[in-house]
C-alpha cells in the first residue's frame, strides 16, 4: 500500500519527500503556475499530466530547483529549495536528483558507457569504479552491450535506456523525467517505461514523470493533472 492509500485509510503517513506549495510563476505576461500544489512520497511514481502550455514542465523545473518560483515554496526532505543557494541546488542535482529528457541529451563525443558514468565522475568517483557502477545499471536497462558505441550509433530506444541508466547511476532519491518517451514509437516507448519504472522501484527512487500520454501515465502510482497553472492530485485506485 502506498503513502497516498495509507493516508486515505486513516493510517499514519510519513511526510512527503518533495513538496510544492502555492507555487506562482510567470514568464512575462504568461502565468505558467497559479497557486499549484503537489506532494511526492519516497518510492512512488507520479505522472504529471496536462495539455501543452498547462504548466506541467514549469512545475517539474520548480520541483527540481532549476527554476525559482515567483512565490510559494518547494521543500525537499525537510529543506526549502527556495532558500538554498545556487551551489546547494546544483549539488542536489548532481547527487540526489536524476534527470531523463525527451531526447536523452547524451554527450555525442563520449561512449555510451562514459555517458552513464559521467555523473559519478563529476562527483569525484574514480574512472574504474564509475564505469563498473555504470555497467551494472546498463545491464539492468539491457544496454550493457552498447558501452563502446557513441550515442549516434544506437537507436532512439537504446539511447533513452542509456539516459535512464545515467539518471540512476548516482543512486538518486528523486528522478525527474520530462516526456521520456516523446521521441519514441509506441513499442520502444513501452519498453523504456517498463525498464525505467522497474529499475526506479528497485532502487527506491521516487519518479516525477511529465507526460501527455495516457499509456505512459499508466506506469505511475497516481496522477497529478495540471491545468491553467493549478494542480489536481488524483489517487490511483486498485
3-state secondary structure the chain: CCHHHHHHCCCCCCCCCEEEEEEEEEECCEEEEEEEEEEECCCCEEEEECCCCCCHHHHHHHHCCCCCCCEEEEEECCEEHHHCCHHHHHHHHHHCEEEECCCCCCCCCCCHHHHHHHHHHHCCCCHHHHHHHHHHHHHHCCCHHHCCCCHHHCCHHHHHHHHHHHHHCCCCCEEEEECCCCCCCHHHHHHHHHHHHHHHHHHCCEEEEECCCHHHHCCCCEEEEEECCEEEEECCCC
Domain limits, the chain: 14-234
Q: What is the CATH number of domain 14-234?
A: 3.40.50.300
pLDDT(7) > 90: no
Confidence of residue 8 (pLDDT cuts 50, 70, 90): very low
Q: What percent of the chain has pLDDT over 90?
A: 73
Q: What are residue 149's phi and psi, to 5 degrees?
A: -85, 155
Q: What pLDDT is recorded for position 234? A: 66
Grid cell in block for residue 182: 516523446
Mean pLDDT of the chain: 89
Each residue of 143-200: pLDDT tens digit? 999 999 999 999 999 999 999 999 999 999 999 999 999 888 888 899 999 999 999 9
Instruction: Mean pLDDT check: name the lowest of 2-6, 69-73, 208-212, 232-236.
Output: 2-6
Q: pLDDT tens-digit profile of 21-36?
A: 999 999 999 899 999 9
Amino acid at each position: 500500500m502506498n503513502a497516498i492509500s495509507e493516508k486515505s485509510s486513516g493510517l499514519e503517513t510519513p511526510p512527503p519527500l518533495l513538496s510544492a506549495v502555492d507555487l506562482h510563476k510567470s514568464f512575462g505576461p504568461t502565468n505558467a503556475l497559479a497557486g499549484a500544489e503537489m506532494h511526492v512520497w519516497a518510492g512512488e511514481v507520479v505522472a504529471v499530466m496536462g495539455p501543452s502550455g498547462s504548466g506541467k514542465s514549469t512545475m517539474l523545473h520548480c520541483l527540481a530547483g532549476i527554476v525559482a518560483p515567483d512565490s510559494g515554496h518547494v521543500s525537499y526532505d525537510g529543506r526549502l529549495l527556495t532558500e538554498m543557494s545556487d551551489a546547494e541546488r546544483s549539488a542536489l542535482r548532481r547527487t540526489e536528483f536524476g534527470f531523463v529528457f525527451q531526447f536523452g541529451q547524451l554527450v555525442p563525443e563520449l561512449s555510451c558507457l562514459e555517458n552513464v558514468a559521467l555523473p559519478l565522475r563529476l562527483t569525484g568517483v574514480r574512472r574504474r569504479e564509475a564505469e563498473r557502477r555504470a555497467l551494472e545499471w546498463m545491464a539492468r536497462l539491457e544496454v550493457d552491450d552498447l558501452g563502446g558505441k557513441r550515442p549516434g550509433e544506437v537507436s532512439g530506444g537504446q539511447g533513452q535506456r542509456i539516459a535512464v541508466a545515467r539518471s540512476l547511476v548516482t543512486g538518486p532519491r528523486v528522478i525527474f523525467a520530462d516526456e521520456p518517451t516523446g521521441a519514441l514509437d509506441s513499442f520502444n516507448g513501452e519498453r523504456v517505461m517498463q525498464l525505467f519504472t522497474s529499475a526506479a522501484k528497485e532502487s527506491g527512487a521516487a519518479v516525477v514523470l511529465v507526460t501527455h500520454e495516457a499509456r505512459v501515465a499508466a506506469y505511475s502510482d497516481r496522477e497529478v493533472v495540471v491545468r491553467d497553472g493549478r494542480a489536481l492530485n488524483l489517487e490511483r485506485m486498485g
